[in-house]
Each structure stands twice: as C-alpha cells, then as structure tokens.
C-alpha cells in the first residue's frame, strides 16, 4: 500500500532531534509548518503532535505557540538537570506510547526524527496494527537502519529552501 488521499495520518515530531539536526548540519532552523504539510501529503491529518523541551529560561514559549499555529498539538516537558550538570530532555518513550495508541486508528504513523531508537516501535506498529510507518527527517542525521525499516522516508535535505529557515 502506498500513499492515497483517504489514508488517516498521524504525525509525531521529535522537535529537539530536528531542531538540532538543522542547526548542526546546516546552521539553520527547521520549518516545522512545511514539514507537516509535506508529511501529510494531501492525506487526512487526524493529529499532529510536536514534542518539545522547556528550559529554565523559557525562551521556547513563542516557538511552541508558532507550532500550535502551524497545526500541532504541543506537548512539553522540562529539561532535567542532574547533580554534576548533566542535562537530559527527550521524548522517546512518550512518542512511542502515543504512536502505539494512535496506530490503532490510523493508516499511517509518521515519525519526524532520525533516531534509530525508534526501530522497535516501527516494527511493532507494522506487525501488530498493519499501519504504515513513514519517516521524515534530515537523512544525514538519520539512522540508516531506521530508514530501512520504514515503509517510506522523506529526506528534508532534498528541498532545503522548503525546510530550512535562516
């Protein structure tokens, strides 16, 4: 099964993964609005969720608002700072849980991240619900094994004008 207009689609965006990939690889910001439009590709968007991390300085407020205006439900959690200064902020488990729950009522789950940790999630959804799992990210910072497991992969770097800002 490939893409067709009647497919019900859910898009789950690992904001930190794409934000830092765009910054490190290209010195720019990711255009999350265009990402959503391209991921959905004319199909029926059921839900789009952007997962972000809030810092103590809370500079992210306007950014999260822009994500909401672009059509995302935004979920945030605080950056954890451990004794010794180590910082941790990721949504891997939260994204996986939402993907599993949502896959029951979707034809396509789209994961916007290059993180190879999502391979077991991709396999689980494909084998238990029959839903397609697609990926959208910058190929240079995406696990090759993840790309192999996905039903389809869209490289944001194929169209830098559309997906990079600044």
Q: Per residue in 62-91, pLDDT tens?
A: 899 999 999 999 999 887 777 877 766 778
pLDDT at 82: 72
Q: Per residue in 7-57, pLDDT tens?
A: 999 999 999 999 999 999 999 999 999 999 999 999 999 999 999 988 766
For each of the domains in the chain, give its residue range(s) and CATH number, in order of start: 12-114+127-165 (3.40.50.1010)
Q: How many residues does the chain have?
A: 166
pLDDT at 88: 67
pLDDT at 77: 87
């Amino acid at each position: 099964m490939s893409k067709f207009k009647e497919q019900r689609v859910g898009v789950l965006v690992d904001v930190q993964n794409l934000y830092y990939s765009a910054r490190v690889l290209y010195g720019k910001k990711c255009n999350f609005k265009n990402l959503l439009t391209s991921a959905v590709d004319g199909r029926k968007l059921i839900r789009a969720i952007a997962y972000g991390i809030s810092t103590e300085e809370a500079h992210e407020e306007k950014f999260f608002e822009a994500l909401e205006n672009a059509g995302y439900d935004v979920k945030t959690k605080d950056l954890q700072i451990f004794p010794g200064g180590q910082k941790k902020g990721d949504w891997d488990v939260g994204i996986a849980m939402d993907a599993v729950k949502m896959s029951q009522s979707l034809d396509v789950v789209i994961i916007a991240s290059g993180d190879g940790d999502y391979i077991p999630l991709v396999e689980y959804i494909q084998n238990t619900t029959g839903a397609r799992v697609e990926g959208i990210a910058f190929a240079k910072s995406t696990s090759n094994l993840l790309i192999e497991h996905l039903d389809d992969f869209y490289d944001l770097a194929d169209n830098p004008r559309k997906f990079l800002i600044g």
